[in-house]
Homo-oligomer: A and B are copies of this chain.
């Protein structure tokens, strides 16, 4: 045993393992102020884009040999690595197949004002109101990232973006752009409006269609709950209610609608740059 190579963590029933494993649950995340980042891809992106948040990276000896870039990035960023047995890694992880790598990090969400700064400077954002499904939230984060959104604003009473299922489905996007969380919907929309960010509600019943809407200035797409959509009260707080023209099918699901809207916003900006 040397100072820079701590012994292999081998007891899956230890207090430390129990504490990390508990981060699969929201109450434990809130209490400990930490969350889980699982799998080499997500851990690599965290070390690259949000190294300040990283606490510890746990790896099996095999994963440490396979992912030397992760071990090097952790060392360079001053992040502790800890080797552990396959049994301990399986006990730490929420995922069934974390591929030998799990990290623990402090939450990466930013204050609302900081997220809005990025949007108000001619950007665009997506607002998730009462979105409950982790996979949907993850897909929206990924789309926001892919199409160049400046921020993702997640209202109070939505899924926790630090939920392992969300983190997993963003494939690293959680670390790429400012994400604000926890503000109740009316305050969130009011703050956007004060910063000159136009609020576009995405709703199948919208009177403006996507090809008609002006996407040139700072704007935010407001997305509702998977099952019931946007409340009339929320629609009334938006500047426009925009529908995606469809031919058939009852409606698009939340992730599909957000993908199409964010792609349209990104395309307008890409065209302007070219």
Q: A146-B252, A248-B145, A259-B256 in contact; A211/B267 too (CB < 8 A)?
A: yes
Complex Cα spacing A253 to B271, Å: 23
Tell whether A266 is near chain B: CB-to-CB under 8 Å. yes
Q: A142-B253, A256-B259, A260-B263 in contact; A176/B248 too (CB < 8 A)?
A: yes
B263 near A244 (CB under 8 angstroms)? yes
Q: How many chain copies does the complex carry?
A: 2
The B-contacting residues of A in range 251-274, CB under 8 angstroms, are: 251-253, 255-256, 259-260, 263, 266-267, 270-271
A246: B residues at CB distance < 8 A: 146-148, 266
A: number of interface residues (CB 8 Å): 33
B139 near A249 (CB under 8 angstroms)? no
Complex Cα spacing A249 to B263, Å: 13
Residue of B nearest to A271 (CB): B211
Q: A143-B256, A211-B271, A267-B211 in contact; A148/B244 too (CB < 8 A)?
A: no
Tell whether A100 is near chain B: CB-to-CB under 8 Å. no
Contact of A248 among B148, B255, B267 (CB under 8 A): B148
Q: A171-B249, A248-B148 in contact; A142/B256 too (CB < 8 A)?
A: yes
Residue of B nearest to A173 (CB): B249
Complex Cα spacing A170 to B253, Å: 10
Complex Cα spacing A171 to B142, Å: 24
Contact of A256 among B139, B172, B244 (CB under 8 A): B139
A residues apposed to B, CB below 8 Å: 41, 139, 142-143, 145-148, 171-173, 176-177, 211, 244-253, 255-256, 259-260, 263, 266-267, 270-271
Contact of A247 among B148, B211, B259, B260 (CB under 8 A): B148
Say how far A204's CB is from chain B's closest CB, in angstroms: 10
A142: B residues at CB distance < 8 A: 249, 252-253, 256
Give the most central of A145, A172, A259: most B CB within 10 Å.
Answer: A259
Contact of A147 among B211, B247, B259 (CB under 8 A): B247
A-B contact pairs, 26 of them (CB 8 A): A139-B253, A139-B255, A143-B252, A145-B247, A145-B249, A146-B246, A146-B247, A146-B252, A146-B256, A147-B247, A148-B248, A171-B249, A171-B250, A172-B250, A173-B248, A173-B249, A176-B248, A176-B249, A177-B248, A211-B267, A245-B266, A245-B267, A247-B266, A247-B270, A259-B259, A260-B263
